[in-house]
Structure 1
Amino acid sequence: MTGTPPPRIAFREVTKSFGPKEVLRGVTLDIPVGESMVIIGGSGTGKSVALKTVLGIIPHDGGTIEIDGVAVGRTRRDDFLSRFGMLFQGGALFDSLPVWQNVAFRLRQGRDRLSKSDARDLAIEKLRRVGLKADVADLFPAELSGGMQKRVGLARAIAAEPEIIFFDEPTTGLDPIMSGVINELIREIVVEMGATAMTITHDMSSVRAIADKVAMLHDGKIRWTGPVDQIETSGDPYMDQFLHGRAEGPIEAVR
């Protein structure tokens, strides 16, 4: 008899402090295989720290983080990171490299690296997938608009066909129209690839466009989690206040 498979990503009472400041105070959250989970919350609530602990960029202090039932840190780091793709908040493109080399950067590293011609062909394929023409491949990031840079970042995130994709504030700095374009691309690509996605954002338009489920993080704890179509009727005071931008409620405005 086959048991239920473990979540792709599992947080269990995860804690993290920086000196006396407690940032994560017992985060527990499951992200099943193939699900798009969006973690929302205001600035300074621990969203970015939660993401960085999964990636191993910063170590968590207590609790456990597991990928497919295996604790983070117990597998070879190269093998571990090869399963991920990442769209960074600011794009994080290499200014000195043309677009195609940015997209294919990971594919040109390690023992199994692609040849230059194969990597360029694959980069152009991924650029087309995010709506960019082949002639963009030889431009440099500084020659692109903010929306185009974000698309290049998305092409890089999916270049290695990852099982898990992380999105860090994917629409920051974009106008509403381009934000909508990026949100639609993210949703299409995640579904098409069957990838598991973890997004952190405070942009509710992104939440509604790309989430299967939503988790409300405040003061280092998950306050509510559920399907995206239940956020309006969650009955949770934290979610309700955040959703409607009310000054009054359990979330205190930073003054």
Structure 2
Amino acid sequence: MIELEGVEKAFGDNRVLRGVDLNVPRGSSVVVIGASGTGKSVLLKCVLGLVEPDAGRITVDGIDVREGDRDAFLARFGMLFQGAALFDSLPVWQNVAFRLLRGAQKRPRTEAREIAVEKLRRVGLSPDVADKFPAELSGGMQKRVGLARAIAAEPEIIFFDEPTTGLDPIMAGVINDLIREIVTEMGATAVAITHDMGSVREIADTVAMLHDGVIKWIGPVGMLDAAGDPYVDQFIHGRTRGPIAALR
């Protein structure tokens, strides 16, 4: 579904991506791990076309991301942002239905609200939450609203940017379970970036280790502990000694 070949991106003298090769099979869940500042978010932005790579090729469903209708391309994606990234001035239901209230996917306001309430139910929130504002919700509830928004338009591909950041272990587990259930139900292709090894083990089919601008290791999540790769070993165990100098 998503393929990156030799993708490079630099910001001035900072070469963030140095030739990334990555294949995300249709209907699978791939989690990209790596230390802070290794380019995980830049990778997602390149796929979405928010950042233009300096070299390489990115295709979605066999089509170059720079070709075709931009709105139709973005309509295939849903996104759960780090920190939920809700609009403070809009009630919850309008946050969830944001895409459904404008653009090519615009629906009548009543229908958009009904869809929003249904998606809120899917993530474990009652209908009375729909008319509240984000500031009235806990961090865990805000993250659920963000997840409801990500799936509101039934996307084929969902990106998750640090989905459990700032949550306590119990709520992080709830969000991980929801992500896994929803991705499986929808048959969506999922790509997540995270530092949370609990999330990795819960939501990944495949894990890719990004370091120094390239994929150092990729394999099934069940092989993570036996990867035999020093970068993976240091990262998943949180060791200060190892080849990842940034952690020293």
Query: What's the CA shift for 1:246?
Result: 1.4
Q: Per the alignment, do residues 183 and 112 of structure 1 end up closer, same or farther by CA in structure 2, a change over 3 Å counting?
A: closer
| 1:82 counterpart (75, 94, 100) | 75
- Is it true that 1:107 corresponds to 2:100 in the alignment? yes
What is the CA deviation profile of residues 59-89 of structure 1, one whole-angstrom value per residue up to 9, with x for unaligned ones?
1110001001111110111000000000000
Aligned equivalent of 1:162: 155
Q: Which aligned pairs between 1:186-205 and structure 2 lie closer than 5 A? A: 186-205=179-198
Q: 2:60 aligns with which of 67, 82, 93?
A: 67
- Residue matched to 2:231: 238
Matching residue within 11, 18, 30 for 1:18: 11
Aligned-pair CA distance for 1:111: 4.3
TM-score, length-normalised on structure 2?
0.98
Which residue is 2:39 aligned to?
Answer: 46
* Residue of structure 2 in register with 1:5 after alignment: none
Distance (whole Å) between structure 2 residues aligned to residue 79 and residue 73 of structure 1 = 12
- Secondary structure of 2:23's counterpart equals strand
Q: Does residue 9 in structure 1 map to residue 2 in structure 2?
A: yes
Distance 1:107 1:90 in 2: 22
**Structure 1 unaligned spans of 5+:** 1-7
Matching of residues 209-224 of structure 1 within 5 Å: 209-224=202-217
Contact 2:8 2:55 in 1 (8 A): yes
d(CA) in 2 for partners of 1:254, 1:122: 44
Aligned length: 248
Taking the aligned partners of 2:225 and 2:206, their CA distance within structure 1 comes to 13
Distance 1:252 1:111, change over 3 A: closer
Structure 1 vs Structure 2 CA RMSD: 0.9
Contact 2:241–2:247 (Cα < 8 Å) also in 1: no
The 3-state SS of whatever aligns with 1:165 is strand
| Runs (5+) with no aligned partner, structure 2 | none
- For 2:123 and 2:83, the matched residues in 1 are separated by 17
**Between structures 1 and 2, the one with greater helix share:** 2
In structure 1, how many angstroms separate the alpha carbons of the residues matched to 2:46 and 2:105? 27
Q: Using structure 1 for the length normalisation, give the TM-score.
A: 0.96
Which of residues 86, 89, 92 is equivalent to 1:93? 86
SS of residue matched to 1:250: coil
Mapped partners of 1:229, 1:193: distance in 2: 23
Question: How many angstroms does 1:245 deviate by?
Answer: 1.3
Instruction: Rate the CA distance shift 1:107–1:32 in 2: closer, same or farther, 3 A.
Output: same
Letter matched to residue 105 of structure 1? F
Q: Distance in 1 between matches of 2:44 and 2:70?
A: 16
Q: Distance in 2 between matches of 1:76 and 1:25?
A: 28
SS at match of 1:137: helix
Equivalence for 2:174: 181
Between the aligned residues of both structures, percent identity stands at 69
